[in-house]
Amino acid sequence: MAAHYYTVTWDQLHRDARALAWRLIEKGPFAGIVAVARGGLIPAAIVARELECRLVESVSVVTYEEELRGSPVVSKPPTAAGDGTDFLIIDDLVDTGLTAGAVRALLPKAHFAVVYAKPAGRPSIDTFVTEVSQDTWILFPWDSEPQFVAPLGKRRLG
């Protein structure tokens, strides 16, 4: 279980993805974007809009079977991106770098950018917006829903 949780709202994700696009403007122009499915699909759409990039490809990498982490398996390669020359890879998060390594092997010449980065995965990517600690679990808006939380005074602490 994670020691810390970081909740990302739809508004925050949009702001952070736009901040990522701002950092990437000077590194382009890019011929296209490869979104790492599934988490990178929404940030990639936002970045594509901001960079006025119309070619958006995807790559699907499976690293979990049920709740067990395994070796990454590419279930859908990004064929339109070739070796990645002039392409931008977008994902929501780099954690351990396992998925990023698999994608980087397919697209060695692409620029890899993520919205959120953990220390263990940072060497696998080129650009990010926000760093979070390795023991933080990010709660993305597509994985959670708003719900009532009791006031601190009504909870028993420790």
Domain range annotation of the chain: 4-154
Provide the pairing of β-strand 32-37 with 56-65: parallel
pLDDT, one tens digit per residue, over 18-33 is 999 999 999 989 999 9
Which residues, 6+ apart, have CB-to-CB distance to 151 below 8 Å? none
In terms of DSSP bridges, do strands 68-76 and 56-65 run parallel, antiparallel, or are they unpaired? antiparallel
Backbone angles phi, psi at 131, to 5 degrees: -100, 135
131 - beta bridge partners? 117
Per-residue model confidence (pLDDT) at position 44: 98
Active site annotation includes 135: no
- Catalytic site residue from 83, 86, 91, 126: 91
Pick the CATH number of 4-154 from 3.40.50.2020, 3.40.50.720, 1.10.357.20, 3.20.20.150: 3.40.50.2020
Q: Which of 95, 126, 135, 143 is catalytic?
A: 95
What are 63-99's pLDDT values in tens digits? 876 556 778 889 999 999 999 999 999 999 999 999 9
Out of 11, 92, 126, 143, pick the active-site residue: 92
What is the pTM (predicted TM-score) of this model?
Answer: 0.87
